[in-house]
């Protein structure tokens, strides 16, 4: 079954304690991305990756890191989480167009709800 | 500048009413893709439709229809005879940089919360 898997689904942590949210897809997609969803702000892109070892900042990258060492995995790292990073996080993957850009359906994980105290 | 504008934030209708969700986008690319996603109360994001910039034909899928007009940079979504199960947040999204490689990301609008009352 084609899917994007995120873990953990729910996490409560404290300020400053490093955490990683994992994301894995089984569709051999080149494009992967992280979004955060906050009330009234919709989905905002944190980081995206067009392929292995290629990552780029989205609209709200501050406080986050990513890596793309393998095609299937795209972990989101919060080195020193702060309360303003309390949010619902989505990982997504897709095919890309002839050169770049998302042209296909974006497949989303189920979301990871993070609370930073 | 906001690239995808969903000016309506919340809409409430009574079951069986028709409802249109508006989406206006901004891009300098000639090749781009537009999407609609649904987020029901359970939280997952569900793909509804994809449309490329060269295909202005309207599309109908059951009670759902989409009206793409390049002249007004709009990609509106209409639900006919709404049902309670249509209650969700609906997102419009724009994908650019298909051939240029520049700014190749998917930008979402802020979403429209649709409530369908019995």
pLDDT, tens digit (0-9, with 9 covering 90-100), for A66-108: 999 999 999 999 999 999 999 999 999 988 766 666 777 889 9
CA A98/CA A79 separation, integer angstroms:
35
The two tokens of residue A93 are: 């993957």
Mean of the per-residue pLDDT values for chain A?
92
Q: Is it the case that residue B40 has pLDDT exceeding 90?
A: yes
Give the pLDDT of residue B55: 85
For the stretch A44-67, pLDDT in tens is: 999 999 889 989 898 899 999 999
Give the pLDDT of residue A50: 86
* Residues pairing with B106 in the sheet: B95
Judge whether B93 and B107 are in contact, CB under 8 Å.
yes
Q: How far is A49 from chain B (nearest CA, A)?
A: 9
For the stretch B49-64, pLDDT in tens is: 989 888 888 888 899 9
Q: A29-61 burial, b if ≥16 CB within 10 A, otherwise e?
A: bbbbbbbbbeeeebbbbbbbbbeeeebeebebb
Closest chain A residue by Cα to residue B112: A42
Q: Which stretch, A91-100, A107-116, B97-106, has highest mean pLDDT?
A: A107-116
Q: Is B109 in the A-facing interface, judged by CB distances under 8 Å? A: yes
Give the pLDDT of residue A2: 83
Give the pLDDT of residue B96: 80
Interface test with B, best of A102, A104, A113 (most B CBs within 10 A): A102
CB atoms within 10 A of CB B90: 24
Judge whether B3 and B24 are in contact, CB under 8 Å.
no
Say how many Å lie between the first and final Cα of chain A, rounded.
Answer: 36
Q: How far is B93 from chain A (nearest CA, A)?
A: 10
Judge whether B106 and A90 are in contact, CB under 8 Å.
no
Residue B79: pLDDT band by 50, 70, 90 thresholds?
Answer: very high
Q: How far is A60 from chain B (nearest CA, A)?
A: 12
What's the mean pLDDT in A31-53?
91
Q: How much of chain B, in percent, has pLDDT values that exceed 90?
A: 69
CA B52/CA B35 separation, integer angstroms:
9
Of B95, B100, B101, the CB nearest to A102: B95
What's the mean pLDDT in A23-36?
93
Cβ contact (<8 Å) for A104 and B96?
no
Q: Is B117 in the A-facing interface, judged by CB distances under 8 Å? A: no
């Amino acid at each position: 079954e084609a899917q994007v898997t995120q873990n953990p689904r729910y996490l409560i942590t404290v300020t400053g304690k490093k955490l990683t949210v994992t994301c894995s897809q089984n569709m051999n997609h080149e494009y992967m991305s992280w979004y955060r969803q906050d009330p009234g702000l919709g989905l905002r892109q944190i980081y995206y990756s067009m392929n292995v070892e290629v990552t780029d900042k989205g609209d709200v990258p501050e406080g986050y890191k990513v890596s793309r060492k393998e095609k299937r995995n795209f972990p989101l790292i919060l080195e020193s989480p702060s309360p303003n990073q309390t949010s619902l996080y989505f990982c997504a993957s897709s095919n890309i167009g002839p050169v770049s850009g998302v042209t296909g359906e974006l497949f989303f994980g189920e979301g990871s709800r993070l609370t930073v105290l | 500048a906001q690239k995808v504008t969903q000016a309506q934030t919340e809409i409430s209708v009574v079951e069986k009413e028709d409802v249109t969700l508006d989406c206006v986008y901004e891009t300098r690319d000639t090749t781009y893709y537009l999407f609609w996603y649904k987020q029901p109360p359970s939280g997952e994001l569900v793909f509804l439709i994809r449309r490329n910039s060269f295909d202005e034909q309207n599309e109908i899928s059951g009670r759902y229809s989409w009206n793409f007009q390049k002249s007004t940079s709009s990609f509106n979504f209409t639900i006919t005879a709404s049902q309670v199960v249509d209650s969700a947040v609906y997102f419009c999204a724009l994908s650019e940089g298909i051939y240029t490689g520049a700014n190749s990301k998917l930008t979402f609008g802020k979403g429209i919360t649709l409530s369908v009352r019995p």
